[in-house]
Structures are given as structure tokens and as C-alpha cells.
Amino acid sequence: MTDSRDFRYDIVIAGGGMIGASLALALSPLGLRVAVVEAVPRGEALQPSFDDRSTALSRSTQRMFEAMGLWEDVISAATPIRRIHVSDRGRFGFSHIDAAEQGVEALGYVVINRVLGEVLQTALSKTATVDMICPARVVDIDVIGDAASAVVESSQGSRQQLDCQLLVAADGANSVLRPMMGICAKKTDYGQHAVIGNLLPEKPPEYCAYERFTDQGPLAMLPVADDRAAFVWTVSSYDADRVLGLEDEEFLAELQEAFGYRLGRLSRVGKRAAYPLSLSKALRLTAERAVLVGNSAHGLHPVAAQGFNLGMRDVAALCDCIADARASDSAADLGDPDLLARYAQWRRDDQGKLVRLTDGIVRLFGSSSPPLRAARNIGMLGFDIIPGVRSLFARHMMGLAGRLPRLSRGVPLK
């Protein structure tokens, strides 16, 4: 039973996290009527998207924010990555990627999710065509004739039905809309948690990001403001509670042991949090009048810092398909099966590659089997000496490989 019914929307986006909020802003030049339904207000401790994590933004995401007119605000709170240094604990040698060698000013930028949330939500509050419905959750969906509908429940328990042409699920890796759409996902638990936080290293990171593969899993140190470093430390799930509960000095000693002394002595660790790590991949990207974007379509291991960036390319491709349909017919149906099929086909390759790449890295570097250890040493060697391999890899990491939608090339929709 719903208390009211609203027919106003072209698109309803379930989930106003990093991807849902970005999609609503990316669509705004098209003048569509968009509703974003978000369960948890920004600033609340339990907000699962705009939290204390740091996200490495790829070059293609940078270009998108440029095309959306938001980059000035993002970059004022972001730190550039000019070098990436990859090493394997207990082995000699390392690999590296350099921005200058790739002919770019930066390989990516690091921004704190909470800060990115402020930029996105300030912009949304100024966008007249977007209604933000928060705190509220989508609790049911339906398709009748030429309309999809979302039943939205407010935090006080009142319900309203939003009718639209197209429903977008941007509700994260544990999407509740995905099964409502009749879409299954393949899930693999890595048996690992990512412990995140930031600290002060003795030597400033100087725009270098470090990735070190340890027996427990990868450990990343990203450069952030004030010469601090944000760490993403993968530990076994069995050990996560113990690691989180350590006193600061004990925690730093264990982290130092895992990372080594490349940045000198590590000190002044801030608040820590842990995230269970799994791989999820939806078996389809569309249903009748409905699409998946971002983590609802694919949840990756953070080893290559690609989950959000991949989701932003979903956003860019969906915007391209919608803009093209409306350019050829100003009344084009946004739930048209051909439009949705074009989106799904466009995204299949990029998503599949990133899922295989991140999963492959986790398995290759997580294995203690001698043949796999030998393979990764040869891999790291080949990465450095075979001409072109490093550039090809860097292009993928920067999100510049394959056929790119307009926004990912930095071209505004209008």
C-alpha cells in the first residue's frame, strides 16, 4: 500500500552513493527529471559510500568530472599520483609506472570519499532537475505497461510510488534491487578484509603510490594531503578484528613490518575501519526498464583501485546511450530495450576485463605455490622490460583503453 503516487520522473536512481550521485549530475545537461533515492544521509557514521576511505581517481574519471564542470572542486581536495611503485615482500626487485613516461601530468588523483561526497551533494542541491529523496529506501519495484515504478519508504515508514521510464540500480554490491529485477550475481568471498586509515610517514610520499604484495594480501599506501599516506591493508578475515583492535603503537609496528621502510618510520595513525572483500558480478546488466551501474553490477577487490572508476565508465556509457536516443528523437523512450541492449553490450568487455584482471592479481600474488611465485616474478620482470607492456597496463589503469564514451573522453554531453 502506498500513501501517494508521483508520475513526474524520467529516471529514478536507487542509491545516491558515489555512483548514483555522479550519474544524476552527469545526466543533468539533458534536462531529464531525475529522482535519487538514498537510504543514509551524508555525514552519518553509517553512510556506506561517502566514508573515510580514500579513492584513487583514474584519468578517465578525471575527464568525466572535467566534462561535468566539477573537477575544480574535486582537485582542490585531491592529491596527484605521479608514480606507482609495485613490490613483492620478501623478494628483490620492483616495478614502477611513471606519469612523465606516460606523457601525463598525473596517473590519477587521491580523494577522500567523504570530501568527494560533499562536492557531489553540493552540486546536486543546486541542480533543479534532480530531486534527492533521503533518508528513504527503495523497497519494491514493478513494471506495468510503459512505466517502471519504485516503492520508496521514508525513515518514518510512509510510502510513495515513483513512476518513471527507467529505473537505475546504484545501490551497491549487496544490491537489493538486483534480485528484484530478477538478475543473479556470481559472488566469491576472498576471505580477506581491507583495513583502511591514514598515517604520517617519516619520508613524505611525494606523489608516489606504493603497492606491496605480502603473504596476507596487497598493501597500498596512497599519497594524501599534509604529507600523510592513506593505507589499504589487506589482512585475512580471521585476523581483521585483532588487527583493528590493536593499540596504535602495536598496529604501526605490524604495518611497518608488512610495508618495510621505504617511507621511513610510520607514525600517528588515524581512525581505522575494515571492509570485507569479495568479488561480485551480475550475470546481466539490464531487465525490463531497468539497468545496473557501479557496484550493483560489479564489486571488485580494491587491489588495483578500479571499482569506482569502472562504475564511472558505466555512468558515462549509459549517459551516451540516453543522449544519443534523445538527440535523434526528443521523446525517445528511455526504457527502450534497444537502448538498454546498447548499454549492456558496450559495458560487457570493460567490466569482464577488470573483473578478470583484479581477480587474477589477487590470486597470483596471494598464492604461495612455487610455480605461481615464479610466474609473478617473471611477470613483474616482463612488465618492466618488454616494450609496450607497461604503457598498455597504464592505459587500462587510467581507464583510457577501448572505445570510450563522450564523458570519459572529457567531452560534455551538451
Which residues would be at the binding site for ligand FAD (CB under 6 A)? 14-20, 37-40, 48-49, 53, 55-56, 137-138, 170-172, 176, 194, 196, 232, 275, 294-295, 302, 305-309, 311
Q: Residue 209: which H helix or E strand, with range?
A: strand 208-214
Q: Which of 44, 329, 80 is nearest to 223 (CA)?
A: 80
Written as one string, the DSSP assignment of 7-18 is: ---SEEEE--SH
Q: Please say which residue, 308 or 346, places its beta carbon nearer to ligand FAD.
A: 308
Q: Please say which residue, 335 or 399, places its beta carbon nearer to ligand FAD.
A: 399
Q: C-beta of 307: minimal distance to ligand FAD in Å?
A: 3
Q: Please say which residue, 35 or 326, places its beta carbon nearer to ligand FAD.
A: 35
Written as one string, the DSSP assignment of 291-330 is: EE-GGGTEE--GGGS-HHHHHHHHHHHHHHHHHHHHHH-T
Rounded distance between C-alpha atoms, residue 25 and residue 13, angstroms: 11
Q: C-beta of 336: minimal distance to ligand FAD in Å?
A: 24
Q: C-beta of 16: minimal distance to ligand FAD in Å?
A: 6
Q: What is the residue type of 364?
A: L
Q: Residue 231: which H helix or E strand, with range?
A: strand 229-236
**Residue 229 CB partners (closer than 8 Å, separation 6+):** 198, 199, 200, 201, 205, 221, 222, 223, 263
Q: C-beta of 331: minimal distance to ligand FAD in Å?
A: 29
Q: Please say which residue, 179 or 360, places its beta carbon nearer to ligand FAD.
A: 179
Q: Please say which residue, 20 or 205, places its beta carbon nearer to ligand FAD.
A: 20
Alpha-carbon distances, residue 180 vs 1, 36, 140, 141 (angstroms) = 18, 18, 7, 7
Instruction: Write b or e for each residue in 197-220: b if 16 or more Cβ atoms lie within 10 A of its Cβ, otherwise e.
Output: bbbbbeeebebbbbbbbbebbbbb
Q: C-beta of 177: minimal distance to ligand FAD in Å?
A: 7
Strands 108-112 and 130-133: unpaired
How many C-beta neighbours within 10 Å does residue 382 have?
12
Strand partners, 79: 110
Rounded distance between C-alpha atoms, residue 340 and residue 68, angstroms: 23
**Residue 297 CB partners (closer than 8 Å, separation 6+):** 281, 282, 285, 311, 314, 347, 351
Q: Please say which residue, 296 or 326, places its beta carbon nearer to ligand FAD.
A: 296
Handedness of CA 351, 29, 106, 116 (dihedral sign): negative
**Residue 63 CB partners (closer than 8 Å, separation 6+):** 407, 408, 409, 410
Q: C-beta of 288: minimal distance to ligand FAD in Å?
A: 19
Q: C-beta of 302: minimal distance to ligand FAD in Å?
A: 4
Q: C-beta of 381: minimal distance to ligand FAD in Å?
A: 26
Q: Please say which residue, 15 or 201, places its beta carbon nearer to ligand FAD.
A: 15
Q: C-beta of 23: minimal distance to ligand FAD in Å?
A: 9
Q: Please say which residue, 38 or 320, places its beta carbon nearer to ligand FAD.
A: 38
Q: Please say which residue, 60 or 326, places its beta carbon nearer to ligand FAD.
A: 60
Q: C-beta of 301: minimal distance to ligand FAD in Å?
A: 9
Q: C-beta of 42: minimal distance to ligand FAD in Å?
A: 9
Q: Please say which residue, 243 or 326, places its beta carbon nearer to ligand FAD.
A: 243
Rounded distance between C-alpha atoms, residue 147 and residue 11, angstroms: 10
Q: Please say which residue, 279 or 334, places its beta carbon nearer to ligand FAD.
A: 279
Rounded distance between C-alpha atoms, residue 310 and residue 328, angstroms: 28
